[in-house]
Amino acid sequence: MEQESKRKKMIKKVAVIFLVGLMILTFFSNTIMNYSLAEVATEPVTAGTVSSKVRGQGIVEASSDYEVTVSGSRVVKEVKVQAGDEVKEGQVLFTFEDGEDSELAAEQETLEQMELDYAKSLMKLAPDHSTDDMDIANAREDLNAAIKAQNKAKSNEKALKAAKKAAEQAKKDQDDKQKTVDALQAKVDAYGEVGDYDSLKSQIEDDTRSLQAAKQKLADDKEDLAELKKDPEEDTKTLERQIRDEDVDIKNRELDLNNLKLRAEAVKTTSASYKQAKSDLEKAQSELAVLQKNVETKNAEVERLAAEPTLEAAKADVRAKQDTLDRALIALTRVKEEESLSQQQESLDLKAAQEKIEKQREKVKKLQAGSDRKEITAREDGVVSSVDCKAGDTVTADMPLAKLQLQDSGYVVKVTVTKAQSKLIKTGNEASIENYYSDDLSATVKSMRPDPENPGQSVIVTFDVKGEVSIGQTLVLSVGEKNRRYDTVVPNNAIREDSKGKFVLVVKVKGTPLGNRYTVKRADIEVLASDDTSSGVSGGVYEYENVVTNSSKPLDSGVQVRLVD
């Protein structure tokens, strides 16, 4: 029991020691690890102004130069200048050995051979294609005539459409007028059935007179009856019957007369309309006759145009004529292809040979003009920038012997800058010359162009220099805006560069239960402007972030670091 108790105590002590050690290691591990990390110094990213002048240096050159050449083949006897010499206009630069210009002789011989070959080509008879040409000309004439007929057919087609439309309209006008005539005829007929007022008036007058005569006879008969009744023996029945009949007849006549008068009154009210209807009918019938004539004229025009060749037929004829012309051309081509290839080639190359002869003549003429020259002199005042031959060398036409920079043309300095820096420079900007102090010396931006060797990244800035300078002198120039505000400014010692471009290391902080952990992250940037201490940049870095300016060890993006105490 006692041994077991001792063993338990021992286990407790070991466990306590282990736990205490674990706690110590846990609390001090962060501190231990920190001492193994790279120590970095940082500065904050700010917004501010940068003196954005662009600096560079270049060699003073003449604004223009020219190459010294000879017109023929020569052997250099003496070189009288060397690179860097200043020469005056007319000063002798090179002298040549006496001797025949072998190049001139060779070029003259070449010219004579070319002229001989050309004369031989002219002597060869060209094949006779006059018959084929005539067939082609006739086919072209036929095609042109067919094209004109097609154009006429196209015009006729439009005219036919218009004529048909006009004929349809004329027919419609005729039909409308016919309807008017029919309506007026019906109206006249209707008025005619009612009767003629003048005829009715005459009949009323006749019936009135007849009625008055009947009434007078009745009155006479009544008087006779009264006389007969005075004699009782007289028979009056016959006369009385007659009087009754006459009385009934008079009443019937009066009724008929009244009806006739009523009818006449009715006819009288429509008489004017009847006359107007007859007048309108006559006018409408006359107009209808004109419209019928117009319809006949329009239909005749439609028939005439319809009889002309159709557009489709004219197009077919054009295609046929074009086919005939094409066949004639193809036939002629085949005939020519069957002829001698060399003969055709000479014909095709005749003009080219002529042009070559003219160029050769000019070349010989140029060589002849300079064949007797024993020396070459400077064309203008300048400085010899290079000499490309020596005594004893054989030089040929247009081979450069030397290059001269012309002093009177002025001086320039060419400086290569980055594309970003070029955005800070404008043509016409005045530049400061930092390695020479003279009030008479000045430089101005003359032009800017992409660097041919690196067009996407670099720009060549040419400065026009005025004052006392000499060719070959080195000038340090600065140009651009003096001050400009940027949203993101970093210290120059924070900017790093590798094969991928320029970048800064941004410090990132992360809180943990054991304290803050610091890591660095790469941020690619473009430098917009720089001065002696800081640069305005754009890219993946922002104001208030901290960037690494110095470190105790090389750093990679993502590694953990510790800050300088």
Q: Are strands 411-418 and 375-377 parallel, antiparallel or unpaired?
A: unpaired
Q: Determine the Cα–Cα distance for residues 265 and 259; give it in Å rounded to an integer.
A: 10
Identify which has the larger pLDDT, 290 or 96. Answer: 290
Interval 183-198 mean pLDDT: 71
pLDDT higher than 60, residue 105? yes
pLDDT higher than 70, residue 81? yes
- Please say whether the beta carbons of 494 and 506 come within 8 A: no
Residue type, 7: R
Q: Each residue of 397-450: pLDDT tens digit?
A: 667 878 777 666 677 888 998 887 788 788 888 888 878 777 788 888 888 889
Q: Each residue of 229-246: pLDDT tens digit?
A: 887 777 788 888 888 888
Nearest to 507 by CA among 488, 492, 494: 494
Q: What is the pLDDT of residue 99?
A: 55
Identify which has the larger pLDDT, 100 or 66. Answer: 66
Chain Cα centroid distance, residue 312: 37
**Which secondary structure element, helix H or strand E, spans residue 20, and what is its range?**
helix 2-36
Task: State whether residue 358 is helix, strand or coil.
Answer: helix
pLDDT higher than 80, residue 193? no
Residue 346 pLDDT level (bands cut at 50, 70, 90): low
Give the dihedral of Cα atoms 299, 302, 308, 310; nearest 10 deg: -140
Interval 177-204 mean pLDDT: 76
Return the percentage of the chain with pLDDT > 90, whole number.
Answer: 12
Q: What is the pLDDT of residue 122?
A: 66
Q: Determine the Cα–Cα distance for residues 227 and 219; give it in Å rounded to an integer.
A: 13
Q: What is the pLDDT of residue 523?
A: 95
Q: What is the pLDDT of residue 344?
A: 60
**Which secondary structure element, helix H or strand E, spans residue 502, and what is its range?**
strand 501-512
Q: What is the pLDDT of residue 101?
A: 55
Q: What is the pLDDT of residue 473?
A: 84
pLDDT higher than 70, residue 128? no
Residue 367 pLDDT level (bands cut at 50, 70, 90): low
Tell me the chain's radius of gyration from C-alpha atoms: 64
The set of residues, in sequence order, having a beta carbon less than 8 Å from that of 129 and lying 6+ positions away, is 332, 335, 336
Tokens 């466990």 correspond to 15
Tokens 């300079």 correspond to 370
Residue 348 pLDDT level (bands cut at 50, 70, 90): low
Among 199-203, 449-453, 479-483, 494-498, name the one with the lowest average pLDDT: 479-483
Task: State whether residue 468 is helix, strand or coil.
Answer: coil
Average pLDDT, the chain: 80
pLDDT higher than 60, residue 61? yes
CB-count burial class (<10 Å; 0-12, 13-18, 19+) for 113: exposed
- Please say whether the beta carbons of 529 and 535 come within 8 A: yes
Identify which has the larger pLDDT, 293 or 199. Answer: 293
Nearest to 177 by CA among 277, 275, 274, 281: 281
pLDDT higher than 70, residue 32? no
pLDDT higher than 80, residue 15? no
CA distances from 233 to 239, 244, 481 (A): 14, 21, 167
Nearest to 346 by CA among 335, 358, 357, 354: 354
